[in-house]
Structure 1
Amino acid sequence: MTEGRLDRNRRLRRRRRFVLFAILVLMAGTGAFFALGAAVTGGQPQALDEDDRAVATSAAPDPGDTVPSATVSPSPEPAAVPLYFSGTGTWTYAEPTSTDVFGDAGTLLQYNIAVENGIELDAAAFSDFVHATLADPRSWTAGGGWRFQQVGGGDADFTVYLASPEQRSYLCGSQNTTVSCRNGDNVVINSARWITGVEHWDGTLDSYRQYAVNHEVGHRLGHGHEVCPGDGEVSPVMAQQTYQLAGCTGNAWPFPDGETYVSGPAGDYNGPDLPPDDFVDQ
């Protein structure tokens, strides 16, 4: 082999080694570039492959879908007021929210409100209910014979008591503990009837309560018992509707239309569930 051919072979080998070295350097630089990019982006890929896209799509809600809100627990039902046969025998007198006289004409009677302690009934709420009932234009002021004014715990012409069945029997001097009553200046609403009403009443519990107040106050005003005048007619408020409706429709008001007193024949209910000593009861 000549000297010239040897030199040419050496140059070719050096060139190949140079090219190979250049390729290795280029590859190393490219790897460093991608490593740098990964470091800059926090190690997260810049694009998702098809599997990742599928997972991301299924995890994200469709804009047209309704995203359910967090489940809200329903509010608990209010606890039923317990029926106590007896309370403490002591009283809370309600302070009137208004001492205005209501009624346009007639004799003025002052009244106060007392609720027995220990029966878990609110004196202010009872006071407001009695006031709204007596001030209603269908109540006893409608006839022009009476005006009313609520006072505090001092002297009054009569007291409206909300009493346990036991205290009701003491205040009214009778053994009956099932109904309300009136005894002298004591107008006594039985807490058991206030809470539950009676099953045969054909109105609301509030309308039964209005009846109880108007009936017992009516006794204090001098009205005796009346009976249903006929099937399908409106009951007189002074009928003993707690015991039965006797074919009439239940009625809470002396003057249901604000003008005309609804009356019936005088008389008492003498049914089997009426104790013999309680003819002043409803």
Structure 2
Amino acid sequence: MTEGRLDRKRRLRRRRRFVFFAILVVMAAAGLYFAFGIGGSEKPQALDEDERIVPTTVADPTSPEAVPPTPEVETQVTPPLYFSGTGTWTYAEPANDTIAGDAGTLLQYDVAVENGLELDATEFGAFVNATLADSRSWTAGGAWRFQQVAEGAGADFTVYLASPEQRAILCGSQNTTVSCRNGDNVVINSARWITGVDHWDGTLETYRQYAVNHEVGHRLGHGHEVCPAEGELSPVMAQQTYQLAGCVGNAWPFPDGSTYVSGPAGDYNGPDLPPDHYIDQ
């Protein structure tokens, strides 16, 4: 073989190698393009219509449109019924002019219920009348008689059924939890009248009788007493709204109609108060 023919074969082999190498380079580049897209980043897949992201415009946070409107919400809170008094009063008309008790000093009283409490003045007046006329109440000792009179008839004291707010005004005390007596004001707290107290071991009716007898007892000059001994009947002048202190709850000064139930003098919530101003029971 001549030298010219050998030279041509060498050049042919070099071209074949170059073409083969070029093909490999092109194939590799095409694979990278389809796998990652131009520039080497991953090519995003097409989204279905319901998956496409709709471009949004970001609002200026200082503009009114950037802050969604606040829906109007009803925020009025209805207070408990016994806090809804108006500070005005309806006086109960006495059912009759009967005097309760056979002997002793006659005290006349009238009865007033604060408006707005939705508590009936006539019903409250009848309850007070029945309590004070009961043979177990203060007439049993023979020292007192009672008669309910109308508003403006010159009563010796007034029995009020008052909201806690008005109770504080009538009693000159910010303690709105319990009932009180202040001078000729015998004030029954409507919060206690409606709900009683959890530790009371009788009915709501007997608790109400206790509250009336206790505060009227202050008007008659009786001070606070405490439970005499575990398991005994509580004196009506004990502060049973605060605690029973081991005694049995009692609504009456003379539970058997003749014997006064008493205990040692004292307060459960502090020193004794002046006899004309019992701010709590």
Q: Which amino acid aligns with 2:110?
A: N
Q: Equivalent residue for 1:228?
A: 227
Alignment match of 1:134 (pick from 107, 114, 132)? 132
Q: Equivalent residue for 1:71?
A: none
Q: Which amino acid aligns with 1:194?
A: W
Q: Equivalent residue for 2:212?
A: 213
Alignment match of 1:107 (pick from 105, 108, 128)? 105
Alignment of 1:134-213 (within 5 A): 134-154=132-152, 155-213=154-212
Q: Distance in 2 between matches of 1:164 and 1:139?
A: 26
Q: Identity across aligned pairs (percent)?
A: 83
Residue aligned with 1:84, SS: helix
Q: Which amino acid aligns with 1:164?
A: S
Q: Distance in 1 between matches of 2:210 and 2:81?
A: 20
Q: Distance in 2 between matches of 1:196 and 1:99?
A: 31
Deviations 1:115-148 (A, max 9, x none): 0001110000000100000000000000000000
Q: Equivalent residue for 1:264?
A: 263
User: 1:270: Cα distance to partner?
Assistant: 2.4
Residue aligned with 2:111, SS: strand
Alignment of 1:13-92 (within 5 A): 82-92=80-90
Deviations 1:221-280 (A, max 9, x none): 000000000000000000000000000000000000000000000000027xxxxxx954
Residue aligned with 1:128, SS: helix
Q: Equivalent residue for 2:73?
A: none
Q: Which amino acid aligns with 2:164?
A: P
User: 1:99: Cα distance to partner?
Assistant: 1.1
Label 1:206 to 1:266 Cα distance change in 2 as closer, same or farther (>3 A): same
**TM-score of the aligned structures, taking structure 2 as reference length:** 0.68
Residue aligned with 2:215, SS: helix
- The 8 Å contact of residues 218 and 278 in structure 2, kept in 1 or not, is answered as no
Q: Distance in 2 between matches of 1:109 and 1:177?
A: 28
User: 1:83: Cα distance to partner?
Assistant: 2.6
- The 8 Å contact of residues 139 and 253 in structure 1, kept in 2 or not, is answered as yes
- The 8 Å contact of residues 213 and 253 in structure 2, kept in 1 or not, is answered as yes
- The 8 Å contact of residues 240 and 269 in structure 1, kept in 2 or not, is answered as yes
Q: Which amino acid aligns with 2:140?
A: A
Q: Provide runs of 4+ in structure 1 moved above 2 Å.
A: 81-84
User: 1:84: Cα distance to partner?
Assistant: 2.9
- The 8 Å contact of residues 86 and 166 in structure 1, kept in 2 or not, is answered as no
Q: Distance in 2 between matches of 1:209 and 1:236?
A: 15
Q: Which amino acid aligns with 1:222?
A: G
Residue aligned with 1:113, SS: strand
User: 1:82: Cα distance to partner?
Assistant: 4.9
Q: Which amino acid aligns with 2:191?
A: A
RMSD: 1.4
Deviations 1:172-219 (A, max 9, x none): 000000100000000000000000000000000000000000000000
Q: Distance in 2 between matches of 1:279 and 1:132?
A: 24
Q: Distance in 1 between matches of 2:278 and 2:89?
A: 26
Q: Distance in 1 between matches of 2:181 and 2:117?
A: 20
Label 1:262 to 1:170 Cα distance change in 2 as closer, same or farther (>3 A): same
Q: Distance in 2 between matches of 1:94 and 1:279?
A: 25
User: 1:281: Cα distance to partner?
Assistant: 1.2
**TM-score of the aligned structures, taking structure 1 as reference length:** 0.68
Q: Which amino acid aligns with 1:261?
A: Y
Unmatched segments (≥5 aa) in structure 2: 1-78, 271-276
Deviations 1:77-123 (A, max 9, x none): xxxx9533241100000000011111000000000000000111000
Q: Which amino acid aligns with 2:253?
A: P
